[in-house]
Amino acid sequence: ARPSGHSCSSPEICWALPDTSHISHDDLTSQVGEVLLYYCYCEVKDPEKLCTWQKALCQHLHLTGKVRVASEGINGTVGGSKVATSLYIKVMLSQPLFKNILCQEDFKSSAGGAHCFPDLRVGVFKEIVPMGIDPKIVSYKETGIHLSPQEFHREVEQYLSRASQGQSDTILLDCRNFYESKIGRFQGCLAPDIRKFSYFPSYVDENLELFKDKRVLMYCTGGIRCERGSAYLRSKAVCREVYQLKGGIHKYLEEFPDGFYRGKLFVFDDRYAICSNEDIISACRYCGVLWDQYKLCSSQHCRQLVLTCLSCCNKGLTACCPVCQEKELKVTSRASGQTLKEECECTRRRPRVPIENLSPRMLDTGK
């Protein structure tokens, strides 16, 4: 079913912070903890107020991470001790703004803690996930049909069976970025070679014929990109139907750790990836050995991620491409102190929006 969001007038924000006087400082700040991932689409009358409260709540519980607030809802990934994250969930569920919309199962958790993020960043934005399309034009209220992990698993199973016989009318679509799908993805998926989710609408526009009369099964990390991505795809009125994995890969792996998703799950914090199965589906950029542990390019002014194995690292091969590896980047500074980063081979050789030619070789349906 499609969620209707919170359509009535937005409730007032409760400013209360949880009582932590009975909790020791060590328990509240323990390095052994978890990282929470969640989102909630609802109408927020005063995003600035919600932002201020959210920042105070996270600081009170010694949580780090990123929280995006907008008039369309909230999207967060925060890390801290298990005591702190448990309290955070309890307070979020009691916040009148999220009442009857947000529930316990909407919080995806993985082993980690406050150390997984460099700091706490809470801000107000136009969108809670940056797709670059005004929420008033393409709303989360027009999303695809949500499938539970069990339903999605059955759909993928049927899709792979039909695809192997060349009979599929379905596209299994990964709406994440290329560096995410490179280290882990569903078998038989179409994984767009895009660098940012904000390129996704252009990708759909440029490849509209691909989706004509198709059933589309979409997935992403935690479900949020599918909410707006599926709404955008549906707005084009070319697909037969659009479905999405509720709770994303996170929830699927909780129930099917050895299912149709193979490899690591990329996460946007200092861990880079979390593991549910032993498969390695990506390779070292330099020698080609199986490898799926990302590092930042060693060139100071490049933010690309690179897959370089221990052996190649020891040989000094630590950059994303020869341009970064072989020369010192010349960086000019603006008067404001901002730096201009030089574009490297990685960004130059990749089309901003790839045009697909969907052939059997693209969809590896084997395990």
Number of domains in the chain: 3
pLDDT at residue 300, as a whole number? 78
Identify whether 290 is part of a domain. Answer: yes
Same domain, 263 and 294: no
Q: How far apart are CA 193 and CA 39, in angstroms?
A: 25
**Is residue 360 in some structural domain?**
no
Environment class of 264 (CB within 10 Å of its CB; exposed 0-12, middle 13-18, buried 19+): buried
State the number of CA atoms in the 13 A half-sphere of 356 facing the CB.
24
Q: Which of 13, 137, 23 is nearest to 83 (CA)?
A: 23
The Cα 294–Cα 291 span in angstroms is: 9
Q: Report how far apart, in Å, the C-alpha atoms of 306 and of each of 232, 272, 315 are.
A: 31, 11, 15
Confidence at residue 168, expressed as pLDDT on a 0 to 100 scale: 82
Shared-domain flag, residues 156 and 187:
yes
What pTM was estimated for this model as a whole? Answer: 0.87
233 contacts 138 by C-beta, under 8 angstroms: no
110, part of any domain: yes
Report the pLDDT value the prediction gives residue 361, as an integer from 0 to 100: 41
Domain match, 115 and 43 both: yes
Apex 144 CA angle, 142 and 148, nearest 5: 135
Regarding whether 254 and 318 lie in a shared domain, the answer is no
Do residues 42 and 101 make contact, with C-beta atoms less than 8 angstroms apart? yes
Among residues 94, 124, 154, which one ends one of the domains? 124
Report the pLDDT value the prediction gives residue 330, as an integer from 0 to 100: 53
pLDDT score for 363: 52
Closest CA to 195 of 180, 178, 174, 183: 178
70 with 117, same domain: the answer is yes
Smallest Cα–Cα separation from 13: which of 125, 95, 103?
Answer: 95
* 249 shares its domain with 288: no
One domain for residues 116 and 161: no
On whether both 232 and 164 belong to a single domain, the answer is yes
pLDDT in tens, 179-232: 999 999 999 999 999 999 999 999 999 999 999 999 999 999 999 999 999 999
Nearest in space to 147 (alpha carbons), one of 1, 18, 15: 1
Which residues of the chain register pLDDT less than 50?
A: 2-8, 328-329, 331-336, 360-362, 365-367
Judge whether 291 and 273 are in contact, CB under 8 Å.
Answer: no
State whether 171 and 207 are in the same domain. Answer: yes
How far apart CA 302 and CA 31 sit, in angstroms, is 30
* Pair (290, 236) in one structural domain: no
Domain-embedded: residue 364 = no
Q: Which pLDDT belongs to residue 306? A: 94
HEC sequence for the chain: CCCCCCCCCCCCCCCCCCCCCCCCHHHHHCCCEEEEEEEEECCCCCHHHHHHHHHHHHHHCCCEEEEEEECCEEEEEEEEEHHHHHHHHHHHHHCHHHCCCCCHHHCEEEEECHHHCCCEEEEECCCCCCCCCCCCCCCHHHCCEEECHHHHHHHHHHHHHHHHCCCCCEEEEECCCHHHHCCEEECCCECCCCCCHHHHHHHHHHCHHHHCCCEEEEECCCCHHHHHHHHHHHHCCCCCEEEEECCHHHHHHHHCCCCCEEECEECCCCCCEECCCCCCCCECCCCCCECCCEEECCCCCCCCEEECCHHHHHCCCCCCCHHHHHCCCCCCECCCCCECCCCCHHHHCCCCCCCCCCCHHHCCCCC
Among 65, 90, 124, give the residue marking a domain's end: 124
Q: What amino acid positions are annotated as catalytic residues? A: 220
Q: Which has the closest alpha carbon to 110: 79, 133, 88?
A: 79
The answer to the question of residue 288 being in a domain is: yes
Cα–Cα distance for residue pair 263/150, rounded to 1 Å: 19
Instruction: Tell whether 17 is covered by a domain.
Output: no
> Do 239 and 214 lie in a common domain?
yes
Note whether 269 and 320 are same-domain residues.
no
Domain final position from 124, 159, 187: 124
Residue 366 lies in a domain: no
- Residue corresponding to tokens 């008067």: 335
What CATH code is carried by the domain that includes residue 269? 3.40.250.10
CA-to-CA separations, 298 to 119, 164, 271, 319, in angstroms, rounded: 22, 42, 17, 5
pLDDT at 341: 56
Q: What is the CATH number of the domain that holds 52?
A: 3.30.70.100
The answer to whether residue 208 is domain-embedded is: yes
pLDDT at position 8 is: 41
pLDDT score for 342: 59
- Structural domain containing residue 81: 29-124
